[in-house]
Amino acid sequence: MAACRVDFERIVALASDAILMLDRQGVIRYANDAAASLFGRSVQALLGADFGFVVIPDEPTEIEIPCAGRILSADMRCVEMAMDGDEVFVVYLRDVTEHKLAQAGLNERDRLVRMAADLARIGAWDVDLLANRVTWSDEVCRIHEVPPGTVVPVEDGISYYAPEWRERITRVFTACARAGVGYDEELQIITAKGRRVWVRTIGAAVRDVSGRIAHVQGAFQDITERKTAEEGLRLSAAVFESTSEGVVITDTTPLIIAVNPAFTEINGYPPEEVLGRNPSLLKSGRHEQPFYEEMWQALLDRGHWRGEVWNRRKDGEIYPQWVNINAVRSELGQTTHYVGVFSDLSDVKRSEAQIERLAHRDPLTDLPNRLLFRTHLEQALLRAGASRARVGMLLVDIDGFRHINDSLGHAVGDLALREVAKRVTLLAHVEETVARMSGDELALLLEGDDDVDTRAALMAERIRESLNKTFTVDGSELFMSASIGIAIYPDDGTDVSELMQNCDAALYQAREAGGNTYRHYARGLTDYARERVTMSSELNRAIERDELQLHYQPLVDTASSRVTGLEVLVRWQHPERGMVLPDSFIRLAEETGLIIPLGAWVLRHACLQAREWEAAGIPFGRIAVNVSGVQIQRSDFARTLESILHETGLGAERLELELTETFVMDLREDAQQLLGDLKDLGIALAMDDFGTGYSSLAYLKGLPFDTLKIDRSFIGGLPDDPASAAIVTAITTLGNSLGFEVLAEGVETQAQRRFLIGVGCRRAQGYLFSPPVAPEAVVRLLTRAARHATSSS
């Protein structure tokens, strides 16, 4: 046996791998020189030392060894054997540090290559010709809209190409696979979801050691965005060539570098006679130099100018144009070119002259009248439709102008109106139309680009400021203001009638806001205003005529189904619309202030009903009434509540008020005082729709609430939705720990109820227990619930 040990030591002494022999306690009994080098210690120092690592026979393991300030990685293998009559472990250690470092470097380079490909959105593909199989990278799979890791036969891969491109891709791929001819093609595929996508595919042959083509590999990229841009350029070129409006493009000198056929048709100059020349060759001499200086200043300041210009054709005829000039800027914001688009206004001018001959002007102010304004608006919309521009319309109504006529006479009123027209006209540019529409109503027409909305608002503000300055008329000092409505084509109307009607609706809204202001038209404003007025009037009558009804939904103990309270819900029995639910009129009531008498009605009748049940000995628990934030903020609510409790004789302990989490958060520092005043009356407080706002339970702990009502949006997902389950569990657990009662809204299934019982939510309401019912059905409901609770116990 001793000879066996000697043979072992001779065999392993010169081994390049570190070899240790351990006893069953893990103590080193033998170490070769390679082991001493690996551990950075002498053989003598290793002998008798604890190995320090767990060894498992026949199970390769990687360990990390501290050595001279470094951490070495070693591959460890162990065998169990008998030597000199003892069971020992022979441990083989191979230093793999350099290998790991080299592998890490390769992995990092691979990561960088993959990252670059990901950033460029370039995918890779490989075709194994022997296996007839194509492997796609994740990016290629994404482009094809298939799951990552998809591997398909070559024929299936080719089938993704659009039918018109399959012959082409088959031909170039076959040439690459057979003769090594690489390719770079731009084709279309049809994805797994049926979308057409432009792609660039590059292929190259890969040969094995024998020189035979074994694989075809390549890159794949979605180029749909570039192709779309190229198509857009082609369409722009087609529009440039075919539009009926003249187009001229210059550099910043400015010298003409391009004109379209319509330019030649309108002006009579062929391209070769104008290219390289200044557009001033078209000057008619009708405009003074300041006109052109103002035009260029606008181009330099704002990058665009539009207006009417009189130019000269090649045959010498002077004619009017409507010109729109825009600066073209580089990505750095520097102007590189100017593009002018113009239309021949000769026909329009002839029409205008005819209208003027018919004297379509207001005799008092010398402004265009309603008919002429409508004509100007029609022409503006035609121009805007052709050039895809925008048109603004303003209606200006003098606030309280009737009082001037009534108190000072119509003569002074006429003078005042003439002065108003003069001030408004001075604010308008020469190309903008100011008109008198009716007695004390003026209109403005603005034509412009995308910022016409801002120009209209600025004009409205300037008009308002101008009219707020004192007027001196016939010895009298007058103070005037205006309500102004604004509508924009094409957003607020696509024809004259619609635009004027909607501008008038915006004017109505400005008047309703108290005057001396302006309003933009909002889509649906007219119908909304009409419906709002109708509903507001009907709701006011509903309160007076007792058309409102109260229904009650039980609040129950989740375990026993015992009723602990009733939530009060208002309904409107409309004589024509039928039963109207609160979602249809509560918001309107809040906006119009009707929520204050409506809320008082609900509180008073709920307390009266509760007192009636109490007198009859019916055990209903507490009644819970929803209270609007508007109702609290716009009235002395605590005093109103105290008065109702005193009037009805209902004890405060029988009443619970529900306030939404959002409203409480909006109160911020005022919440403690307001809620404290209510709590001092002896009522209970519940936070409704909890979880939909941004409050924390820590913040709520400082407020005098008794109950948290978990919003129904979280209950609907129970018990299967993990997020809903987590939220409900957290609210219930923390709410219980902080001393709140927790009630779940909208419980509809037994599974939801079991989940709530499981997490400790002891109260609930919802259709599982009962829908809201009329007062006469409450007694039957309470009796049935009590019977069920008794049988369950």
Token pair for 222 = 């979605």
Looking at CATH, the fold of the domain delimited by 349-513 is given as Alpha-Beta Plaits (3.30.70)
CB 478 within 8 A of CB 470: yes
As a CATH number, domain 2-101 is: 3.30.450.20
What does the CA dihedral 104, 110, 116, 118 come to, rounded to 10 degrees?
Answer: -110
Q: What angle do CA 417, 421, 425 make, to 5 degrees?
A: 170
Token pair for 271 = 């391209």
Q: What are phi and psi of 573, to 5 degrees?
A: -85, 85
pLDDT at 116 (0 to 100): 46
Q: Pairing between strand 471-473 and 476-478?
A: antiparallel
Sheet holding 256-259, edge to edge: 256-259, 246-250, 335-344, 318-329, 304-312
Q: What residue type is 222 in one-letter code? A: D
Is the whole-model pTM more than 0.85?
no
CATH superfamily of 120-228: PAS domain (3.30.450.20)
pLDDT at 183 (0 to 100): 94
For 460-464, the CB contacts below 8 A with 24+ separation are 460/394, 460/484, 460/486, 460/518, 461/518, 462/427, 463/394, 463/396, 463/423, 463/424, 463/427, 464/516, 464/517, 464/518
What does the CA dihedral 720, 721, 727, 733 come to, rounded to 10 degrees?
Answer: 10
Length of the chain: 793
Cα gap 626→441, rounded to integer Å: 46
Which residue spans of the chain are classified as CATH 3.20.20.450? Answer: 536-792
Q: Pick the closest to residue 768 from 538, 539, 556, 456 (CA basis).
A: 556
End-to-end Cα separation, the chain, in angstroms: 82
Interhelix angle 525-544/496-512, rounded to 10 degrees, is: 40
Which residue spans of the chain are classified as CATH 3.30.70.270? Answer: 349-513
Q: What are phi and psi of 142, to 5 degrees?
A: -60, -45
Cα gap 793→789, rounded to integer Å: 6
Give the 3-state DSSP-derived string for 717-778, with helices as H, strands as E and coil as C: CCCCCHHHHHHHHHHHHHHHHCCCEEEECCCCCHHHHHHHHHHCCCEECCCCCCCCECHHHH
- Strand ranges for 399-516 from DSSP E: 433-438, 441-448, 471-473, 476-478, 482-489
Interhelix angle 722-737/750-759, rounded to 10 degrees, is: 40
Q: Is 516 helix (H, G, I), strand (E, B) or coil?
A: coil
pLDDT digits (tens, 9 = 90+) for 295-305: 999 998 998 99
CB 335 within 8 A of CB 327: yes
Which residue spans of the chain are classified as CATH 3.30.450.20? Answer: 2-101, 120-228, 245-344
pLDDT at 1 (0 to 100): 42
Cα atoms in the Cβ-side hemisphere of radius 13 Å centred on 5: 14
CB 352 within 8 A of CB 417: no
**Within the chain, which residues score under 50 in pLDDT?**
1, 112, 116-117
Rg of the chain, C-alpha, whole Å = 43
Q: What are phi and psi of 507, to 5 degrees?
A: -65, -40
Cα gap 561→781, rounded to integer Å: 11
Q: Pick the closest to residue 427 from 463, 469, 468, 456 (CA basis).
A: 463
Cα gap 744→715, rounded to integer Å: 7
Cα gap 149→147, rounded to integer Å: 6
pLDDT at 305 (0 to 100): 92
Chain centroid to CA 618: 52
Q: Helices (H) and strands (E) in the chain — how many of each?
A: 28, 32
CATH superfamily of 536-792: EAL domain (3.20.20.450)
Count of Cβ atoms closer than 10 Å to residue 472 Cβ: 9
CATH classification of 245-344, choosing from 3.40.50.720, 3.30.450.20, 3.90.330.10, 3.40.50.1820?
3.30.450.20
Q: What are phi and psi of 783, to 5 degrees?
A: -65, -45
Q: Pick the closest to residue 456 from 478, 483, 485 (CA basis).
A: 485
Tell me which residue has tokens 């006011």.
Answer: 540
pLDDT at 4 (0 to 100): 54
